[in-house]
Amino acid sequence: MPWSTAFDDPVRVDNRRQLRTLQQAADYIMRLPEDAQHEAHWQIAIETLIKAAETGGGWVMFARIAMLRALNAGGRRG
């Protein structure tokens, strides 16, 4: 599957921003401060995004869930 693969439903980052594709989600993580990128919830999200890009199928849904969980970890949003 290409990185341009869209999530079934966009991942809402805040009231103005949504992540619609695997690539947008990966780019979002890469723009986080480096120490944040190394937090377990972001590591899980990026690993799941990679798996989704490599294999597709249900992994795209799991990648969306991992992004939602990472965004909500510790009660903070990016």
- Sole residue written with tokens 């969980």: 69
Tally of domains within the chain: 1
Residue 54 lies in a domain: yes
Based on DSSP, count helices (H) and strands (E) in the chain, helices before strands. Answer: 4, 2
Query: Over the stretch 2-20, which tens digit does the pLDDT of each residue have?
Result: 999 999 999 999 889 999 9
Any domain includes 15: yes
Residue 22, both tokens:
């695997």
pLDDT of the residue at 24: 98
Is 1 part of a structural domain of the chain?
no
- Residues in a beta bridge with 18: 12
List pLDDT tens digits, range 39-58.
Answer: 999 999 999 999 999 998 89
User: Structural domain of residue 34, as residue ranges?
Assistant: 6-75
pTM over 0.75, yes/no:
yes
Residue 77 scores a pLDDT above 70: no
Please check whether residue 60 lies inside any domain of the structure. Answer: yes
